[in-house]
Amino acid sequence: MIAGDAAHQTPPFAGQGMCSGIRDAANLAWKLDAVLRGAASAALLDSYQAEREPHVRAAIELAIGMGRVVCTLDPNAAAQRDAGMLAAQAGGAPTLPPMRPTAFASDCVLAGSPGAGELFPQPTAGEAPARLRMDDRLGDSACLIARTPVGGTVAGVRLLDVDADELAPFRPALLAWLDRHAADCVLVRPDRYVFGSGAPRVLLDAWAQSLNPATPAQG
């Protein structure tokens, strides 16, 4: 597996080179960990390229677009550029093409369920230096976050509900996400991308299946 600049390089204009490498590492680390612990089959690693390549391409396209803006040397072309950007701004349109990476489409998300493959929010609470991020409370594992408590235990998945004490500061943001996706429950991967939303049992079964694709689905 390769990650970071060894896998892709970008013009510097969007400041996304290291960011892309960090995203690679976040995507790959939990998968390697799961495979090495025997909690997932090696086929899980196939999702790394499928998920990261479109995102990195989007970042590089953005950087190329920004480069075209700032590297204009011809005064006439620069004047046209400025006029175009000012007109776009006056009309409320974006002045640069936004970076719009698509949601992940791989075997490691529950395709078709609302929010699947999107980055999950990272709400914060309090002020620096005591600012709390939701990650500080979620830990490193996958998390199932439901509107109401889901009983039992599941290896490798933290079962939480929006009324759990540790999630109290983030309850409004979590409820807003669930409302926006008309979902009772969301399963968030260790890299904080959404595996899928829907009924808890369906999510947990699909998650187990995605970690071990050769295993027939249970229930």
Ligand X SMILES: Cc1cc2nc3c(=O)[nH]c(=O)nc-3n(C[C@H](O)[C@H](O)[C@H](O)COP(=O)(O)OP(=O)(O)OC[C@H]3O[C@@H](n4cnc5c(N)ncnc54)[C@H](O)[C@@H]3O)c2cc1C
17 binds ligand X (CB under 6 A): yes
Q: Which is nearer to ligand X, 5 or 140 (CB)?
A: 5
Residue 18 touching ligand X (CB under 6 A): yes
Residue closer to ligand X by CB (options 66, 162) is 66
Which run of H or of E encompasses 142?
A: strand 142-146
Minimum distance of ligand X from residue 104's CB (angstroms): 21
Region from 17-25, 34-42, 65-73, 88-96 binding ligand X, contact rule CB under 6 A: 17-25
DSSP-derived 3-state class of residue 157? strand
5 binds ligand X (CB under 6 A): yes
Q: How far lies 53's CA from each of 11, 138, 166, 182, 192, in Å?
A: 16, 27, 35, 29, 18
CB of 191 to ligand X, least distance (A): 17
Segment interacting with ligand X, rule: CB under 6 A, options 12-20, 104-112, 166-174, 201-209: 12-20
Backbone dihedral angles phi then psi of residue 182, each to the nearest 5 degrees: 45, 50
* Interatomic CA distance for residues 124 and 135, integer angstroms: 9
